Each structure stands twice: as structure tokens, then as C-alpha cells.
Structure 1
Amino acid sequence: MNFETLPWLTILTVIPTLGALALWALPKRSASLAPKLALGVAGLELLALVGAFIAFDVARAGTFQLVEQHAWIPQIGASYALGANGVSLLLIALSIILVPLVILAAFKEQGVGEAEGETAELAHVRLRNYLALVLVLTTFMVLIFAARDVFLFYVVFEAMLIPVYFMIGSFGNGARRRYAAIKFLLFSLVGGLVMLVAVIVLYVKSGGGETAFLVDNLAAVALDPTTEKWVFLGFFIAFAIKAPMFPVHTWLPDTTQHAPAGTSVLLVGVLDKIGTFGMLTLCLPLFPNASQWAAPVIVVLAVVSIIYGGLLAIGQRDLMRLIAYTSVSHFGFIVLGIFTFTAEGTAGSAFYMVNHGLSTGLLFLVAGFLFLRSRDGRSQIITDFGGMQRITPVLAGVFLVAGLSALSMPGLSTFISEIMVLVAAFGVNKWAAVLAATGVVLAALYVLLTYQKVFTGEKNPELVDKPDLSGREKWVVAPLIALMLLLGFVPGIALQYLDEPAAQSGSIIEGEG
């Protein structure tokens, strides 16, 4: 077997799975070794990712490559079918890049590895269990973006709720962390249940067969207009909850408020992309006519999400809730680009997914570092800080870069993707584009006002002895800043993987229109 034909996607799922098992197998007395072992596994995963990129032919980025297909449950037509085009490969890369940073940040992250009255040994065990869940989640993140079988996609869509639930409920912070975990779970389960009904209807209409759930086979199924609309809505509602879009977004602020910062990085930076990824790779090719039918309402919801998220972010006292609402706004831009049905809008949305993961990941990580420097080591309230620029200048600078990326400052990667979406939207729906552009102004307000409250003004006398970013913390944030600058000045590095898939998505709708 030569290098190009290795099952890279399966390798990318096996490595973190074995790593998680190895962590759980560590005895209590050796649990202090867990962070180093987890980092080693994440490093090996990065090497495998490099192998996948080498084996991937970027000249055929619109074609699904690294394909694997094996019979799984032939009685119902389910297959273990994996493949990656340019969009899914970049989202897999985003997932794998963020994981070692989350692991490195979790060494001293609030709420992880510590509890009141806990011994050092038990704290190490808690951190070991948390890092094992991070690696399990890594497996699911790779699988969900690589799945080419709708039943496999659905199973992973539901299964990944389990590690996230425990990462919030068991390792989060605040008395309401279990409430937040249950709310996240209930919203996600409702969306999954609606999608399951749609999956069953789609299967019945396909006529069955040993590979009936393959996306390529289902795309060829002719549905009557009414059925197509209902099945589309089943998928779209599940993806809108996951995204999250207004008005089914309310689980997100509570979740991020009580989850560890690293969990929020993976939840908002990666997992929420499953919603917009599903709209792009399942809703559009499987239900092109219904996508066009629903587009006017979806565009309105996207614009409302942009403005509503921005306005709510401005009024937040809790920094984690603020970042959550900024993401509601940003996901509005992503959905708007997808439903322009243009190559430029689709490529911009796919690029936005990657850039939002980098930008929001950095925001959550630096916020977690900031909280460790509060009076009690865990406060998230914005007004509990002040004058931090003179106390922790490096942390202040990193927060400013992260904030500028959130408002799409030229020179940072988010600027390119947001401009692409707005230009595409203006060509299709001028009013939607104009209203969406107000989100840029709102972003400037919530970013700059927050920076002013936290980092400028009078120093809080209780915080004057707090240390600046440590060497470990600098290693956490540096790769994300470097990537945002690189993709900001040379966006073609990523766009070459997105242009052909985006053009194909647009042609699907045009062909049906």
C-alpha cells in the first residue's frame, strides 16, 4: 500500500480514540502524566493530518478524495463511508489544530482538574478524564466532517453529545453548569430527533438497498415537492439549532458561560460548524428545490441573527456570554453566504467557518487566561477587571488581536471571508446585504467597548500583582495569531481548497432552478 492510498481519515479517527483509552488506562498514581500523553497524541494526529494533506489533490478539491467505503449495516443500507473535499478537509484540519492548544491551555484552566477540598492526586485524575474526553471528541469531529453516509453522519451527530455533556456538566464552572449541560443536551436531542424522522423518510423514499444512505445515492432520489420541503425542514431545523441561529440559539450563551474555556473553543469553534457544514453539504445537494423555496425566510433569519447577536453582545456583563452572542452574529453571516447560492458566497461562507474557528478559539482561550488573573481566579464578569493593559500588556495585546479578528479588521483572515459574503449577498439581495453590514458596526462596538472596560482606565488594585502570559500560554495563542495573519494576507492558501466545491454547490441550485 503506497502513501496516497493509506486510509488517512480512519487513521485520523483511530489515533485520538487509542489516545483516550490510553489516558483512561493510566493508574491514579500516574495521572499527572496525562497532559504530556495527551499532547503527544495530539502531535501524532497533526502528523497524520499532514499526511492527509499530502495525499489530497488540491487540483481536484471539489471531488471527494481519501475515500473509504465498507459495509456497516447492509440490512438497512448503512455504510462506513468516508471522504473529504476541500471544505471538509479544512474543517478537519481546524479541529485537529485546535485540540493541542486546548490541551495545553487546560493545564491550568479554571474548573478543570480542581474542586474544593480536592487532593492533588484527584485533581490529576480529573484533568486526565477531561483530556480523554477531548480526544474522544476529536474522533467524532473528524468522523462528522468526513462522513459520506447519512446514517453514519446522524449517529456521530448524536454520539458527540455525550463527551460534550460531561465536559460541561462535570468539568464546567458555576453552580448552574449542570443546568447548562442539560439545556445543551435537550436542544441538541430535539434537533437530532427531528433529523432522524427526516432521515427515515428519505430512506423510505430511496427504495432501500445495501448502500441506500450514501449521500451520492440519496442525491439522485426524486422527491415530490411537498415531501422534499418537509424532509429539508427536518434537516435544516437540526442544523439551525447546532449552528446556532436565531431563534433556536438560546442554549449557547448558557453553555459557554459555564463550560471550561477549552470546551467552548471546541464547541463554538468546531462543533457549531456542523450546522452550517450540514446546510452546505447535505441540504443543498439533497434538497435543491426546497433550499430555493426556503431561502427567502432563511436569509431573513440570517440577517436577524447578525443584528440580534451583535446587539445582545453589547449588553453582556459576562465575557463568555458576550463571545457566545458574537458567534450568533457571525453564524448569521455564514448562513447568509450559503443561501446566496453563488460560488463567491459559498466559498466565503466556507472560509468564514475556518476563520471563525480560529478567531473565536483565540477569544475563548485568552478569556480563560484572563479569568485566571481575576481576584478569585475564576470571575468572568467584565466589570471585575480594569486597567489590565498596564498589568498584563501581552495578554491585553492578544485580546485586542482576537477582538479585531472578531470585527473583521483588514489584514486578519476574517476580513476576507466577511467581504466575500457581503459582496455575494449584495449581488443577490441588496437589502439583506445592507442590513447585514450593520453587523460590522455592532462588532466594532462590542469589541472596543469590552476592551476599554477590561484593559484601559484605572487599574484594579486587587489585580496589580497578577502575572502576564506565561511561556506556555504564549505557545497556546501564537499559532492562532500566526494563522489569522497568514490567511489574512495570503487567503489563497485556503481558498484554493474551497473554490471548486463552492462552484459545484452553486451549479447544483442553478441546475435545478
Structure 2
Amino acid sequence: MTVLLLVLPLLGCLAVLGLPPKRAAAFGVAVTSATLATALLMAATFDYHRSGFAQFSVNAPWIPLIDLRIHLGVDGISLPLVVLTALLCALCAGYLARPSGQPERPRALVALLLLTEVGMLGTFVALNLLLFFVFFEVVLVPMYAVIAGWGGQRRAAAARQFILYTLLGSGVLLVGLLLLYSRTSTMDMVVLVGRAGTGLSHGVQVLGFLLIAGGLAVKVPVWPLHSWLPDAHTQAPTVGSVLLAGVLLKMGTYGMVRIAVPMLPEGAVALAPALGALGVAGIVYAALACLAQRDLKRLIAFSSVGHMGFVLLGIATLTPVGINAALLGNIAHGLITGLLFFLVGGIAQRYGSTDIDRIGGGLLAKAPRLGSLLVFAAVASLGLPGLAGFWGEMLAMLSAFRPAGGLNPALYLVFLAVAGLGTVLTAAYFLVMLRRVAQGVVPPRWTAERFGDVTAREWVAWTPLLVLVLAIGLWPRIVLGVTDGAVRVLLRGG
């Protein structure tokens, strides 16, 4: 089943190039829907009592000369991300299939999105370090092409910045993975987790963690390595922004949880305070940057830096509560920010701009359903209790009260205080945005304009995200019940 999860979008990527352009979007919907059905079948047949161990495994020879194997599998850490990825890709394909949303060169765009899906899903199911790196890299070129080919006016510069930053991070990551292999003679992630750093000196663990976490930090992105993100989000087409925020950023934090923390525990203890400091610095920096933004897409892009800061804080505590908070925060951010970018895409289609001053307010009066959805997504993103965004951030701050042994409790209380300030600033910039976009009267320049409210196809694309944001907010066990057992196995070394 794991192989089918990767083969479906890969074959679809090749097949769509031979179809008539008018059928490309519908074919993309069919392929991504079949992939989503496979992911849901995996979730339905997954043994949740053994969530700490890989299921649906494939372990076949790859390069026998150096004992490399194609090792794939899904456990409680990767399963929620697999389902999230398949869901967002299916919704993006459905969004492209709207009568009013047909893109230029549809075959190429659908093929690139399907290839991106292969890389994202492969990253989450790979259980071999080199295979993980290969899938990690597969994502970069198609996403670069999506931004450069279908983005905004400054798309070329944004795409170049994206590829240069992420390739630099990948180079550092590869050096760290090779260092780990040179000292252990294996790239099997299950074996390395079971060893939990045994046989590795303290210096090697610290250097390895620095290289691996540092390379992954570019993809998160960790402040101050974030500067590629706002331009990439702002210039990318709606589906590119949704996948960038909803999945690609999670690949970095997933790698930290899957590789860096359990395989290099002494390095994790040594560098976790620095990781936590960068995380909370990013929370405050992003909130202040959001208060200064005049473009909706750019505001949401900067907000992602802040939300991922909470994920980093959870990881930096090195506790089961903190790691679970990070994994739940990943899922919540993917759902909420994916919804926000969908909504902003709808606003841009109607107003012809995402400039806040040009929109001028009155969205609730002009398009009440669209405005109400924007309000819902914004309050979910600021962490309103009862919605998905609340739990990851609250649990991350809670875990800072009691970090793992070997970490300075007083320092983590400072992190907690700074993160608390960040939550206040987050509420401030979202409420300011809603006041300037959703509330107030319709500006005179828009009163004579006629554009519809939320369409039926938009409801189809957005309703699953709405339902999941509410469901996880009311019952976080939907995610935590899957991840907790796997996290505890990971932290105690398999």
C-alpha cells in the first residue's frame, strides 16, 4: 500500500502529459483522489496499538554494493502527515478544476503538482536516510517551476531565492547525513533510532545535530533563515502557496523529529536551547512583521514563521509533551494556513489584488460567506480555544514548564514568557487584518462591482479543512492518539 501511495501520483505525472489540455485538471482530480483514498485506507487499517512501529513496510534491495535498501513504512508520526499531504493535494487539484480557475498550460502544472506530491509523500514514508534525502530533493525543482511558471509579477526572483536557499540547506543536510553514515555504517532509520547514538562521541553528535537540524531549518524555515518564504508565498499561485505552507514547511520539522532528535540525543540536549531561542525569536519577529504588512499573502506567509516557531519550541523541550505538541502544531498549521491561502486566492480572484489598502474593508458586507470564512480561519490561526490552532501552541508552551533533563528550566521559562508575548501579538495582527479587510463598509470603488460569494466548487475544496479544524480543536486526540505512542517509542530509542 505504501508503494501504491507513491506510484499513483508518479504514473499520473507521466500520463497527464499525453492528455488534451482541457482534460488535465480533471485527470489531476482523479489521481489525487485515488491517492487520498489510499491514504485514508491506510489510516483505516492502521494498527493504532502499535503506532510506534512502522506498518505497511517495504524493505527491498536498492544498491547492494553499499547495502542500501528501499525501506518504506508508516508509523504514528508520519501517518497524520501522509493524510494531510494527500488531502491538500486533492483539494488543490479540485481548486484547479474550477471553470473559472483553469490555469495556463494545465498539463504542465498538474504534472508538477503530482511530482511534488510524490516527493512530499516519499519524505514522510522513507525509512532510509538516503531515500529520505532523495524524496526531500524531489520536491524542490517542481515547486521552483510552479512559482516561476505560474506566479506573480516578481515570480522569477522569488523562485530563484527559493531554490538557492533550499539547495543550500539540502547541501548542509547531506553532509550531516553522510557524517552519520560514516560513523554508523548504516542508513536504516529504524536501526539508527534503536541505537539512540550509541557508539557516537559527544562531539560527533553535536556536529551531526548541527548539520542535520541546520539543513532542515532552512525548509522550516527558522528565523533568520526565513527570508525566502514571504516572497515565495506572495508570488506563488494559490495552489503553490497552499502546498508550501501546508506541507513543505513540515518536512523540516518532521526531519528533526524523525532523524536529529532520536538518532543524536546528546547533540539534541546540547543544541536544544539554541533551537528554542531561535523558535521564540521567530514568533515575536514574525508577529511584528505581520503588523507591518500591507499584503494579505505576505502577512499569512510571515505568520507561518511564527507558528513554526511554536513547533520548534515544542521540539526543543525534548519531552513527549513537546514533541506531540510539535506534531499537532504541524497538522493544525497545515489545515489552517492552507485554508487561509485558499481564501486569499478567492479574494484575489474577486478583487484582482491582495493589497489590504486596495480591498479597503467591507468583505463581510460584499461577500458575507467569504468574509465569515476568513474570520473563522483567522481566529483559528490566532489560537482560539476550541479550534485546532490552540492545542499545538498551548501544549508547546506547557512543555516549556518542564523541559527534559539536562536542559535549563529557568531558560525555558524565559522562552515560555516570550512565546506568551508572541500569542498576544499574533492576536493583534489578525484582529487588525480583519478590521481592515472584513469589517467596515464597502468602499465606493467596489459598490458597483459584481462578484459572487463562495461558489459550490470552493465549498467542496474548503469544507474538509473547516471540518477538520473544528474537529481537532474539539477533540485533539484525533492527532495525539496517533502520535503519542510513536513519540514515546522514538524518544526511548525504539
Q: Shorter-normalised TM-score: what interval?
A: over 0.9
After the TM superposition, which residues 57-96 of structure 1 pair with which residues of structure 2 at under 5 Å, given as runs? 57-96=47-86
Q: Which residue of 1 aligns with 2:28?
A: 38
Question: 1:492/1:148 Cα in 2 relative to 1: closer, same or farther (>3 Å)?
Answer: same
- 1:108 is displaced (CA, Å) by 5.5
Determine whether 1:13 maps to 2:6: yes
The answer to whether the aligner puts 1:453 opposite 2:436 as a matched pair is yes
Q: Check the 8 A contact 2:144/2:162 in 1, yes or no.
A: yes
Match for 1:411: what amino acid?
G
In 1: Cα distance, 2:230 partner to 2:160 partner: 13
C-alpha distance in 2, partners of 1:107/1:315? 35
Alignment of 1:487 with 2:465, yes or no, is no
Give the match for residue 407 of structure 2: none
CA contact (8 A) 2:262 2:491 kept: no
Please point out which of 169, 178, 182 is paired with 2:156: 178
Alignment partners' CA distance in 2, 1:50 and 1:96: 9
Secondary structure, aligned partner of 1:468: coil
8 Å Cα contact 1:143/1:156 also seen in 2: yes
- Paired position in structure 1 for 2:399: 424
Q: So what's the TM-score if we normalise by structure 1?
A: 0.91
- Asked if 2 retains the 8 angstrom alpha-carbon contact of 1:343 and 1:505, the reply is no
- For the 8 Å contact 2:84–2:334, the answer to whether it is kept is yes
Give the CA deviation at 1:507. 3.3
The answer to whether the aligner puts 1:324 opposite 2:307 as a matched pair is: no
Deviation of 1:106 after TM superposition, in Å, equals 2.4
The farther-off stretch of 449-458 and 276-285 is 449-458
Deviation at 1:495, TM superposition (A): 1.3
Q: Give the whole-Å Cα distance in 2 for the aligned partners of 1:143 and 1:351.
A: 20
- 1:326-475 to structure 2, matched below 5 A, reads 326-374=303-351, 377=352, 379-385=353-359, 386-428=361-403, 429-464=412-447, 465-475=450-460
Rate the CA distance shift 1:477–1:455 in 2: closer, same or farther, 3 A: same
CA distance in 2 between counterparts of 1:333 and 1:32 reads 43
User: Per the alignment, do residues 474 and 494 of structure 1 end up closer, same or farther by CA in structure 2, a change over 3 Å counting?
Assistant: same
Aligned to 2:124: 145
Alpha-carbon distance between aligned partners in 2 of 1:159 and 1:417, rounded to the nearest angstrom: 29
1:462 deviation in Å? 3.0
Instruction: Spell out, residue by residue over 1:22-51, the C-alpha distance to the aligned partner (whole angstroms, 9 max, x if none).
Output: 21111xxx2111121111112211221122
Report what 1:120 is aligned to: none
What residue is the counterpart of 1:158 in the other structure? 137
Q: Distance in 2 between matches of 1:251 and 1:466?
A: 33
Structure 1 residue 216 and structure 2 residue 182: aligned?
A: no
1:503 paired with 2:477, answer: no
In structure 2, give the amino acid aligned to 1:381: D
Q: What secondary structure sits across from 1:363 in the alignment?
A: helix
Q: Which amino acid aligns with 1:502?
A: V
For the Cα contact (< 8 Å) 1:43–1:100, is it kept in 2? yes
2: CA distance between counterparts of 1:64 and 1:338? 21
Residue 109 (structure 1) shift = 10
Q: CA deviation at 1:83?
A: 1.1
Residue matched to 2:17: 24
How far apart are residue 54 of structure 1 and its match?
Answer: 2.8
1:301 aligned onto 2:278: yes
Deviation at 1:138, TM superposition (A): 1.1
Letter in 1 for 2:147: I
Please say if residues 9 and 142 of structure 1, whose CA atoms lie closer than 8 Å, have aligned partners that are also in contact: no
Point out 4+ residue stretches in structure 1 off by more than 3 angstroms.
107-110, 505-508
Moved more, 151-160 or 390-399: 151-160
Runs of at least 5 residues in structure 2 that lack an aligned partner in the other structure: 404-411
Q: CA deviation at 1:217?
A: 3.0
Once the two structures are superposed, the pairs formed by residues 281-300 of structure 1 within 5 Å of their partners are 281-300=258-277
Using the TM superposition, name which of 219-228 and 447-456 deviates more: 219-228
In 2, the alpha carbon distance for the partners of 1:273 and 1:331 equals 9
Q: Distance in 2 between matches of 1:252 and 1:437?
A: 24
Say if 1:413 and 1:486, in contact at 8 Å, map to a contact too: yes
Q: Distance in 2 between matches of 1:303 and 1:410?
A: 21
Q: Pick closer, same or farther for the CA change 1:163–1:330 going to 2, 3 Å.
A: same
Q: Distance in 2 between matches of 1:37 and 1:133?
A: 13
Contact 1:180 1:254 in 2 (8 A): yes
Tell me if structure 2 keeps the 8 A contact 1:426–1:432.
Answer: no
Aligned equivalents of 2:184 and 2:480: distance in 1? 35
Q: Distance in 2 between matches of 1:350 and 1:186?
A: 27
After TM superposition, give the deviation of residue 113 of structure 1 in Å: 5.0
Q: Name the SS of the counterpart of 1:372 in structure 2.
A: helix
Moved more, 214-223 or 292-301: 214-223
Choose from 462, 466, 480 the match for 1:477. 462
Aligned match of 1:236: 213
SS, match of residue 66 in structure 2: coil
In 2: Cα distance, 1:33 partner to 1:255 partner: 28
Q: In structure 1, what is the equivalent of residue 406 of structure 2?
A: none
Q: Secondary structure at the match of 1:348?
A: helix
Inter-partner Cα distance in structure 2 for 1:14 and 1:113:
26
Specify the code of the residue in structure 2 equivalent to 1:469.
Answer: V
TM-score, structure 2 as length reference: 0.94
Residues 1:311 and 2:288 aligned together: yes
Q: Distance in 2 between matches of 1:391 and 1:54?
A: 42
Q: What is the rounded CA distance, in whole Å, between the counterparts of 1:63 and 1:425 in structure 2? A: 27
Is the 1:305–1:328 Cα contact (8 Å) retained in structure 2? yes
